[in-house]
Structure 1
């Protein structure tokens, strides 16, 4: 973890970049370049990110190849978020790696637990993936689901809280 002063400088810088990103029209190349500045990594040319795009920190967000992130996705990434190759993130989805303590005396403090979205996983529209959750390879999180526990590979989860509703035996099957 970085010292608070440096962390706050990164947050300030990245919030300006995110505001610039979301305040005008940009080509996908420009979007990737700006998101690359926000994350501190090179974003592969195969990645498509629809605007607006949101992050509270940016530097702890890792995006694989051939990833699609739809509009209004929010990445709360201070605790780390990894999106593996070929993943799909639906519109308005929230990936959250930060939580607050329940104890009133510590409530302004945060706990950090990384989120991992596996290869070829699909996070549906307005789904919420909570801190510490891993979504397995080829898994699907249905629209509006709230995921508080790990999602096994090749499963579909839905609901609040999310529960397994289907096992994907044939990875080419439609849901």
Structure 2
């Protein structure tokens, strides 16, 4: 199974048991990612951090994109980050379901992007259910917010600090709370 086939497998939104061949593809990359995260989080240089993140994500991060360590991810290869993106300290991305961050996005400190969940049934609970997250251009994710699997945050939208977002956020909208609810439109 190739990495592309594995990504397609994780995009189905089905329970993927720990015995699925996709995990044999993922686990060596997880080990490599964990080693690189250690280097990243001991780096004191933004350019070096960008270079290490480029290795983790398997794509060259644009020089206009800044990520402040510490930063964690469990995999990295299913994350795509656009230009002029700022990701503040202490963020965590669980990306087996795929994370896309478009251009000009601001992500506050301690934000969690979580594309992975587990089934409720105890018999299958060690499996994964994954769904992608999309953060559209010019969005702003406030400090300590959590974005859950399958969520799209719309263009020019704002997620208030501390929110838990379990449903799509329309374009030009401010949401907040637990669970996040509509607060107002962005002019």
* TM-score normalised by length of structure 1: 0.94
Counterpart CA distance in 2 for 1:46 and 1:156 is 26
Correspondence for 1:112 among 130, 134, 138: 130
What are the ranges of 5 or more consecutive residues in structure 1 without an aligned counterpart?
171-175
CA-based RMSD of the aligned residues comes to: 0.9
Counterpart CA distance in 2 for 1:7 and 1:105 is 23
Counterpart CA distance in 1 for 2:94 and 2:159 is 18
In structure 2, the partner of 1:71 is 89
SS in structure 2 opposite 1:164? strand
Say whether the 8 Å CA contact 2:54–2:60 is kept in structure 1.
yes
The alpha-carbon deviation at position 5 of structure 1 amounts to 2.2
What are the ranges of 5 or more consecutive residues in structure 2 without an aligned counterpart?
1-5, 8-21
SS in structure 1 opposite 2:100? strand
In structure 2, the partner of 1:40 is 58
In structure 1, the partner of 2:17 is none
Large movers: runs of 4+ above 4 Å: none
The alpha-carbon deviation at position 23 of structure 1 amounts to 1.9
Correspondence for 1:151 among 163, 169, 184: 169
The alpha-carbon deviation at position 28 of structure 1 amounts to 1.6
Q: Which has the higher contact order (CA 8 A, sep 6+)?
A: 2
In structure 2, the partner of 1:93 is 111
* TM-score normalised by length of structure 2: 0.88
Say whether the 8 Å CA contact 2:43–2:49 is kept in structure 1.
no
In structure 1, the partner of 2:78 is 60
